[in-house]
Structure 1
């Protein structure tokens, strides 16, 4: 059964409009989640809102929104007052621009959504917009309001539908210079770079997300299963960290040698599995 739509509205390209729905393309449902419990009774705990000055529990009806103007001084904003800043993009995703996909800096990519036509009435318009984008190999940039916030969203064809990815605003990204400026620029030999590039070639493959294995998640599920079965959980001793003082060229050569040994072993296995037939004596 398909999940409920996260957002419903219209997709608009100039004068062409069609009803659409957005569904989250990612989920955390399969991850192992823990609840806070009372270790004495085994009962689940509930969180309460507490006034930081008086320490008293605050009823849900007294909970509101406040923006901190200065330390400890807030201006209260009512829910109905937020309606004053509602935008057209609350119910309509209007396409503003079309850009090449490679122009979008990956740091701006945020959350993915599946975009589908909402009902058969606007399916024709949806398919026309989707196929026009396929033909031009372009990504659409539009605006949408999600969780009371306006986001820029990038739309591109994906199978029979569209993939919508919300984008971060420039003010949400940190300046890379604050982190990269202190990286030294040592002179390294061309031989080292060539050797490293050769190692990269030996590890070349195609992107396949099915190869990704969440080792921590699998270990966590195994731990919970063992604990539920009444078995003792033993914490392994921490291994001593190896020294980072190495000869770079020697490490590169050893890395390449290890790869060659692995290939040679596979070759010997194949040769053993399919030995050549001896020729009969004349």
Structure 2
């Protein structure tokens, strides 16, 4: 099932306009998530919105936005007042300029979105805008309003659609000089640089995001499955800190270790790997386990040695 669009409106380049929808390009829903639970009853913890002074719960219709001036003073802002200052970019992404992609500092990048035509009309206008950006080999810069705030968005072709990346404003990016001024200027010998270069060459490979495993997520799943099946949870062995050695020795040992390790395999004609379905497939629920009655029933029944549910194995490279 396709996710819901975060935004719907129009994409406009001068007088060329088409209806579009903006979808999130990334998702965290496949990650393991936790709820807070009452240790004594096994019931989930819920939070109520209460008045900070009276302690009484406040109804949703009585809650409004306020800007804090000092400890006890807030400037109240109503929804109508926010609507009155809404910008045109609330419903339209107007392309203001085209810039080289290399000119965009990576610190300004926030998150990616997919931009597609909305409905059956406007596909021709969308294609004209998309191919214009592609032929120019540049990035289109516009503005869009999400969650009541206006954002700068950079648009570039991606297959049959457009990828839009939200950008930060200059005031949101900290000056690196505040952090780098105290970094000492040190002299590096040629031998050290040569050794480091050899290490880099041993570790060089083509970037492939499918090669990155979320090891913490895998460990979480194994921990949950072990506890679900009543299996003992083994404590990890203490990590060795190692002996302090000088930089030159560290470089030499690193190079020796890398030369002994197998070189990264370069696959030919790789097949697309099947995407993991997430925790719903990897973790199987226990009926009634969240309630006190369910816990009592679990204690009364003898536990069977159930095989832990493992994460889907990664497809091997072809070749």
State the TM-score, normalizing by the size of structure 2: 0.79
1:252 aligns to 2:244 (yes or no)? no
- Paired position in structure 2 for 1:86: 86
Task: From the superposition, tell whether residues 174 and 248 of structure 1 become closer, same or farther in structure 2 (CA, over 3 Å).
Answer: same
The 10-residue stretch of structure 1 (194-203 or 73-82) with the greater mean CA deviation from structure 2: 194-203
What are the residue-to-residue correspondences of 1:119-268 with 2, within 5 Å?
119-236=119-236, 238-243=238-243, 245-262=244-261
> Which protein shows a greater Rg?
1
Aligned partners of 2:189 and 2:83: how far apart in 1? 62
| Cα separation, 2, equivalents of 1:126 and 1:64 | 39
Q: By how many angstroms is 1:237 displaced?
A: 5.1
**1:262: how far off?**
3.2
Q: 1:63 Cα deviation (Å)?
A: 1.7
The answer to whether the aligner puts 1:3 opposite 2:3 as a matched pair is yes
Query: How is 1:50-89 mapped onto 2 (pairs within 5 angstroms)?
Result: 50-89=50-89
Deviation of 1:32 (Å): 0.3
Deviates more, 1:61-70 or 1:25-34: 61-70
Matched residue of 1:193: which SS?
Answer: helix
Structure 1 distance, partners of 2:225, 2:242, is 33
Q: Would the aligned equivalents of 2:95 and 2:143 in 1 still touch at CA under 8 Å?
A: yes
Size of the aligned set, in residue pairs, is 264
8 Å Cα contact 2:202/2:259 also seen in 1 = no
1:26-41 to 2 correspondence within 5 Å?
26-41=26-41
Q: 1:199 to 1:51 in 2, by over 3 A?
A: same
CA contact (8 A) 2:99 2:138 kept: yes
Shift of 1:2: 1.4
Higher relative contact order (CA 8 A, sep 6+): 2
Query: Structure 1 pair 237/60, CA: closer, same or farther in 2 (3 Å)?
Result: farther
Distance 2:207 2:235 in 1: 35
- Secondary structure of the corresponding residue to residue 133 of structure 1: helix
Gaps of 5+ in 1: 267-282
Deviations 1:182-214 (A, max 9, x none): 111111112211221222122111110001100
SS at match of 2:96: strand
> Is this contact kept in 1: 2:66–2:74, CA < 8 A?
yes
| Correspondence for 2:108 | 108
Alpha-carbon spacing, 1:37–1:79, altered in 2? closer, same or farther (3 Å): same
For 1:7-18, list aligned pairs within 5 A.
Answer: 7-18=7-18
